[in-house]
Structure 1
């Protein structure tokens, strides 16, 4: 079960760029909570705290309970903006999530046991096509990552969504059987057949 992290926030009655800039000058980050057919709630967060949480990783796949002046909101981050120069958070969007609800999230793909692949040990290259995948899953059961086992992988092998076993209750949100990665032979091994075919041109 996904651990729910707690965040404290204060209500931000005013919206707009001027009010947002004032919050940032005060060391806070403007944010909004929306969804579930309820009115949006504008809030502000402690800059140091939210900055630390974002850079700790898995921010967009973490369930939060935000305490806004005593009222608690169960949410998942949907988007955040960073300063293009200094990389500190400028704004965060949170989506309300009721108990038992499903959410669509992007999780990272990890390629494990690369040392057990004969092709990679023989000089081959792992060509990663998808670094993340989109999943539909219960908000309480968001996987931290999806693992692809490369044990025994040989030259020319490819790895597809359909071959990956997902946790219970989790399904692919995308369309089709996407390729996650392929094993590519060393450059020299590919050039020899190409050179042999050149006289035909």
Structure 2
């Protein structure tokens, strides 16, 4: 994984008012911590940081007054309404060090006809070197029949990565697609159980033409 470089400034003002001032200047308050080092409070460039954090588990090289810090985003706080980044926690990592991260799961291929593919997990937890975190893992569902399933332990992992979560967790389940008649029957059974009575359409008779 390539490193994304960002330049940061040390931050000395704290609190909600100071954070609002930072964000109005198109910057983001952040803290760098880990490996027993004292937390380093910084401000990051707003636009460049927003673009960098679009990728999951992006490896950042943050320059602060000429000193480079290799970090991973540990927590990204966003405004619940507008979605802009409010604050970022950055965890210091070392080259060759292994870290535990959640990696996206991508599906490829087409399952057998008349089946439905259910993705139970959108991410899996992996242990990988901080400088070699995979962007994603891929599962092929090509030709899978109803009743097939894929557990976490069956995922082909990139070299150097290992599963950190439960190997028995189901990631993908393939079921048979219900026909329209089956779906209608199930709906009617649920309605009957709930005491719902459908209004049946009534037949209407056109008035006879006036013969007079």
Question: Could you tell me whether the CA contact under 8 Å between 2:99 and 2:127 is conserved in 1?
Answer: yes
2-side partners of 1:162 and 1:190: how far apart? 37
Corresponding residue for residue 42 of structure 1: 41
Question: Could you tell me whether the CA contact under 8 Å between 2:109 and 2:141 is conserved in 1?
Answer: yes
Three-state SS of the structure 1 residue aligned to 2:145 is coil
1-side partners of 2:15 and 2:163: how far apart? 37
Query: Of 139, 147, 160, which residue of structure 1 is paired with 2:138?
Result: 147
2:41 is equivalent to residue 21 of structure 1: no
Deviation of 1:19 after TM superposition, in Å, equals 2.0
Corresponding residue for residue 71 of structure 2: 75
Instruction: Give TM-score scaled by structure 2 length.
Output: 0.81
Deviation of 1:189 after TM superposition, in Å, equals 8.8
Question: Could you tell me whether the CA contact under 8 Å between 1:15 and 1:42 is conserved in 2?
Answer: no
RMSD of equivalent CA atoms: 2.0
More helix by share: 1
2-side partners of 1:45 and 1:151: how far apart? 44
1:190–1:165: structure 2 CA closer, same or farther, 3 Å change rule?
A: farther
Question: Could you tell me whether the CA contact under 8 Å between 2:4 and 2:52 is conserved in 1?
Answer: no
Deviation of 1:14 after TM superposition, in Å, equals 2.7
Find the structure with the greater CA-based Rg. Answer: 2
Deviation of 1:190 after TM superposition, in Å, equals 9.9
Instruction: Figure out how many residues of one structure are paired with residues of the other and give that number.
Output: 186
Corresponding residue for residue 107 of structure 2: 111
2-side partners of 1:42 and 1:191: how far apart? 60
Alignment map for 1:1-201 (pairs within 5 Å): 2-55=1-54, 57-58=55-56, 61-114=57-110, 117=111, 119=112, 122-188=113-179, 191=182
Question: Could you tell me whether the CA contact under 8 Å between 1:7 and 1:66 is conserved in 2?
Answer: yes
Question: Could you tell me whether the CA contact under 8 Å between 1:27 and 1:46 is conserved in 2?
Answer: yes
Deviation of 1:85 after TM superposition, in Å, equals 1.6
What are the ranges of 5 or more consecutive residues in structure 1 without an aligned counterpart? none
